């Protein structure tokens, strides 16, 4: 399940389990008109260790979440501001 978190700039981060999933996620979102960026997650004590996040506009997060799930993109722990994990 994807838990969405937004920061004050209106950017939300979705934690994905690998760089391949991040790239496939970006492609799927782009095909559906949603811009995203791939970033490394940054917090050292997050629940899974190294990984990647997809950053999307906060307004797109619900749709992005739905599209990723429909396309079988697996996500790990929920992400928040700056790509850090809660």
Partner 1 sequence: MIYLDNSATTNPKPQSVINASDNALRMSANPGRSGHSLSSAAAKKVYDTRCEAAEFFGVENEENVIFTPSCTFSLNTAIKSLMKNGGHAVVSELEHNAVIRPLEHLKDRGVTYTKAKVYIGDDDKTIDSFRSSINKDTRAIICTHASNVFGIRLPVERICALAHIYGIPFVLDAAQSAGIAGINMADGYDIVCIAPHKGLYAPMGTGLMLLSGDISPDTLVEGGTGSNSLSPTQPQEHPDKFESGTLNFPGIAGMYEGLRFVKSKGISRIFEHELRLLSILYQRLSKNPKIVLYTPFPKPESFVPVFSFNVKDKHSEQVSEYLQKNGIAVRAGLHCAPSAHEAFGTIDSGTVRISPSAFTRERDIERTAYVLSKI
Q: Which of 39, 43, 63, 81 binds partner 1 (CB under 8 A)?
A: 39
For 80, the token pair is 């928040």
57/68 Cα distance (integer angstroms)? 15
Asked if 34 and 60 touch (Cβ cutoff 8 Å), the reply is yes
Which of 35, 59 has the CB closer to partner 1? 35
- Angle in degrees, 0-180, between the axes of helices 61-70 and 19-31, rounded to the nearest 10: 110
Using rule CB under 8 A, residue 74 touches partner 1: yes
Using rule CB under 8 A, residue 35 touches partner 1: no
**Residues lying near partner 1 in the complex (CB under 8 A):** 17-21, 23-24, 38-40, 46-52, 72, 74, 76
């Amino acid at each position: 399940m994807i838990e969405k978190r937004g920061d004050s700039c209106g950017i939300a981060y979705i934690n994905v389990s690998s760089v391949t999933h991040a790239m496939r996620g970006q492609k799927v979102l782009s095909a559906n008109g949603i811009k995203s960026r791939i970033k490394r997650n940054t917090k050292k004590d997050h629940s899974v260790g190294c990984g990647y996040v997809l950053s999307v506009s906060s307004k797109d997060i619900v749709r992005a979440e739905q599209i990723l799930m429909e396309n079988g993109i697996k996500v790990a722990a929920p992400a928040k501001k700056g790509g850090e994990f809660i």
